[in-house]
Structure 1
Amino acid sequence: MDIRLDGKVALVTGGSRGIGQAIAATYAECGARVVITSRKIEGLERSAEEIRSRVPGAEVVPFAAHAGDPQAARDAVALAVDTFGTLDILVNNAATNPHFGNVVGVDVPRFDKTVEVNLRGPLVWTQEAWGQAMGPDTAHPGGCVINLSSVSGLQFNDPLGVYGMTKAALIHQTKHLAGELAPAVRVNAIAPGLVKTEFARSLWEGAAPDAKYPWALERLGDPQDIANAALFLASDLASWITGEVLVVDGGAMIKGGI
């Protein structure tokens, strides 16, 4: 089945690498026009060029914006609307994890930073998307929001406890916003397992290239695995799905892993 997003406009936070870049590239490949954001313009410009090399003719606009900054969210959504006329898909992918260790040992600045980016950020970006592009008072109401949670938000994970707390709260936020913004906007979440990205390097580095991982499908996740799920949730095939969490973890949770 050929899934298309022709005529759609998407904004992907954390789009300079890893899962965010894979989602943006997949959307562009399927016909969407895309705005990608992250903190540093240099990484975004590289990402945009890589997407254009993969998808000749792709319309990709990089915009430097800190995911935890409300003004940056406002400006990025305004850019998407001013450039492309609307915004149909918001992917809240950007995340941070400054504390790796027990929850009881976290200091307040690191806790606050994690909440700012991983939980408050998706709320603020969704508020801006709703107010400027998707809500009933906008020119083209409707759309969908996809939040990147984590399997760490669904189970105990000792070194990722604070990160997991914010991702668990993001799932609850997803469900509440799905109810509040319906029927105009669908809001869903994806909970990835361990994916081979720079962000998760400390969790997979050192394993042999052909290592069999101790979960059902025996391999590390690839950013494209998550991008495929994000494509489905953004498409009309998911038009009767909202408030849900799609776990994409290679069967890790059913075998007790991450």
Structure 2
Amino acid sequence: MTTAAFHDRTALVVSASRGMGYAIAAELARQGASVALTARTEEPLREAARAIREDTGRRVLAITAHSREEKDRKAAVEAVMDTFGRLDLLVYTTGINPALDTPAIDLDLDCFRRMFETNVLAALDFVQLAWHAWMKENGGAVLMMNTVAAHAVFRMPAYSATKSALHRLTEDLADQLAPRVRVNAIAPAFVRTAFKDTLATLPDDTIAASYPLGRIGESEDVAHAAAFLLSPRADWITGVTLRVDGGKSVATHTHDRPHPAPGRPVH
């Protein structure tokens, strides 16, 4: 059912041609927002924008942009302002992990640097750009896509370190940008996406059995939580990282609830 929680609001969702980013953009549009999507590859991006437009009837802007490129980030925010005249909601979903579960002692530093630039610095730059373009004077809400790997040992030190940094950045920004702008994050466990399929080493039913709620997450689970944190219903919530993990973070590991193989990203 379409609602008007975001009537007259504009959202920029970074990395939204598929998976959780797409699901968040689609949910915000269903709830009344105009949305701008970014992705590196033009064809799937435009298809995603077309699908959301046809499903919701909302205004949708597709922006081809690489999150790690400073000029692309600047151009994306400028395109949103030129097209919609406002930028109320910013969602940063980009996260890369080319190092997989490489031990810290063997990490290629250039690879780690690229991960930090993409997972942390680019997120901060988008917030700075949105702040100066609109939010400083008009307010807004920011949502970061984090991961449960930021809060536990998953034997992937580079990815976990960048996401731990993003966790602290979320808290600091929430403090510094209040009261005009709220900044929160979501930390999913395994969610059924194409990215998950490239990383998981166990069958889905085995992974699902380790979660108290008995299933792997769906992109829509994350999208619903994201829409809540961005909405007026969460107006007294900032600096929070919400774990959307099927109860994994509180699970007691037993023989009938096997633990997934460690060292795998979750989004």
Both proteins in one fold, TM over 0.5: yes
Q: Deviations over 1:95-133 (max 9, x none)?
A: 111111222221012101110110001000000000111
Residue in 2 aligned with 1:126?
A: 127
Q: Which amino acid aligns with 1:151?
A: V
2:265 corresponds to? none
Task: Report the alpha carbon displacement of residue 166 of structure 1 after superposing the two structures with TM.
Answer: 0.6
- Alignment of 1:117 onto 2:113: no
Whether contact under 8 Å (2:115, 2:162) holds in the other structure is yes
Which amino acid in structure 1 is aligned with residue 237 of structure 2?
A: I
Whether the 8 Å contact between 1:196 and 1:222 is mirrored in structure 2 is yes
Which of 206, 223, 228 is the aligned partner of 1:227? Answer: 223
Structure 2 unmatched ranges of 5 or more: 254-258, 261-267
C-alpha contact 1:196 1:204 (8 A) present in aligned 2: no
**Structure 2 vs 1, CA of residues 39 and 187 (structure 1 numbering), >3 Å: closer, same or farther?**
same
1:10-89 matched pairs, under 5 angstroms: 10-55=11-56, 57-89=57-89
Of stretches 146-155 and 160-169 in structure 1, the one that deviates more from structure 2 is 160-169
1:185 matched to 2:186? The reply is: no
Per the TM alignment, residue 53 of structure 1 is displaced from its structure 2 partner at its CA by 3.5
Report if the CA contact (8 A) 2:204-2:216 is conserved. Answer: no
Q: Identity of counterpart residues, as a percentage?
A: 38
**Structure 1 counterpart of 2:139, from 133, 142, 159:** 142
- CA drift at 1:72: 1.3
Alignment CA distance shift 1:178-1:23 (3 Å): same
Give 1:210 deviation, angstroms: 9.0
Gaps of 5+ in 1: none
What SS does the aligned partner of 1:110 have? helix
Q: What's the counterpart of residue 91 of structure 1?
A: 91
Partner in structure 1 of residue 108 of structure 2 = 107
Cα deviation digits, residues 118-163 of structure 1 (max 9, x gap): 0001000000000111113xxxx100110001000011001x3211
Partners of 2:40 and 2:191 lie apart in 1 by 22
Q: Distance in 1 between matches of 2:227 and 2:237?
A: 13
- In the alignment, what sits opposite 1:155? 152
- Checking the alignment, whether the CA contact within 8 Å between 1:14 and 1:95 is kept in structure 2 is no
SS of alignment partner, residue 58 of structure 2: coil
TM-score where L is the length of structure 2? 0.89
Q: Distance in 2 between matches of 1:5 and 1:194?
A: 28
Alpha-carbon distance in 2 for matches of 1:14, 1:177: 21
Query: What RMSD over aligned residues (CA atoms) do the two structures have, in Å?
Result: 1.8
The answer to whether the Cα contact below 8 Å between 2:205 and 2:215 also exists between their aligned partners in 1 is no
